[in-house]
Amino acid sequence: MFRYLINSFKRKLARRVTQKHPTRVDHFELAGLGQVDFTNWENPLVEKKEMAAETVAFFKQFLHDGDGAIDIGANIGHMTVQMALATGKTGLTLGFDPNPYVYDILAENALLNPNKTAIKAHNLAISDEDNEFFYNSSEASFNNGGISLTSDNRHGKFALSHKVKGVNLEAFLEREYPGFIDKLKLIKIDTEGYDKEIIKSISDLLFKHHPVVITECFGKNSPEEKFEQFQVLKGLGYSLFYISDFTIDAEVVPILKQEDMLNWKHFDFYCTADQSQAARR
């Protein structure tokens, strides 16, 4: 009971008072990979993240050694690291997050496991064009949040004291990582309801190169916003598939029409290029 009260107080404090929470490096034994290290965030509002061979196997459906992958809205790097285990040390996985509180931990995780992964972390948002944005969160620990061009936005009342930088992804890659786009096989997006806008901002890149897209249908988005997310991806030549989890044995259900986007309240799905589009690549 005493421990419960202490933890309850810590959670309340984290929601109301902004402070820097400590980290710890955990060690996981993954079949076929050996020890994988991961820096967890000891924020009382955040559950401990674990590395899993089943999740790495999920990403290996789409990624191989030497491939390129991108995680937009990477947070502390939970999925970034597992994506990087699929691309291996000869590939490259890029993690983007504009939130400085989680980026610091993402940057730590990018440096772990150098004999198994190659990760570059960037404290940036992805946007239509290079710009600066307000960043707000619904709670003071900044575990979640989103960008906006205005200080008055839906992401929450807690705001960073400074603006964050956003970049056009294709232009950034061409400038900073020449040749990377030719190796790009997967883009994962998880941006607290902003996924549709991210997809629109990288639509030229998707249309020309058709990497697999893994994205989120945000529960708080309106039916019209969910329909638009479907329409944008279909218009770029993608087929959509609901996934129950990021594991190799997850349930997979085709999303055939826009109304199917309402079958689940909040869910993840992946998108693959239609055969006619894939043949062009």
Q: In this predicted model, what pLDDT tens digit does every residue of 109-144 receive, in sequence order?
A: 999 999 999 999 999 999 999 999 888 888 888 888
Domain for residue 31, yes or no?
no
Domain for residue 215, yes or no?
yes
- For 55, the domain range is 51-280
pLDDT classification of 158: cutoffs 50, 70, 90: confident
Half-sphere exposure of 13 (CA within 13 A, CB side): 11
Domain for residue 274, yes or no?
yes
CATH of the domain at 173: 3.40.50.150
Domain count, the chain: 1
pLDDT classification of 278: cutoffs 50, 70, 90: very low
pLDDT per residue over 8-17, tens digit each? 756 776 777 6
Domain for residue 176, yes or no?
yes
Report the share of the chain in percent with pLDDT over 70. 93
Residue-by-residue DSSP string for 237-271:
TEEEEEESSSSTT--EEEE-SGGGGGSSSSEEEEE
Domain for residue 41, yes or no?
no
Report pTM.
0.93
pLDDT per residue over 200-221, tens digit each? 999 999 999 999 999 999 998 9
Count of C-beta atoms within a 10 Å radius of residue 97: 30
Residue-by-residue DSSP string for 79-106:
HHHHHHHHH-TTSEEEEE---HHHHHHH
Distance CA 63, CA 78 (A): 17
Domain for residue 5, yes or no?
no
Distances in Å between the Cα of 165 and the Cα atoms of 126, 128, 147, 183 are 9, 12, 10, 26
Backbone angles phi, psi at 263, to 5 degrees: -70, -20
Domain for residue 13, yes or no?
no
Domain for residue 65, yes or no?
yes
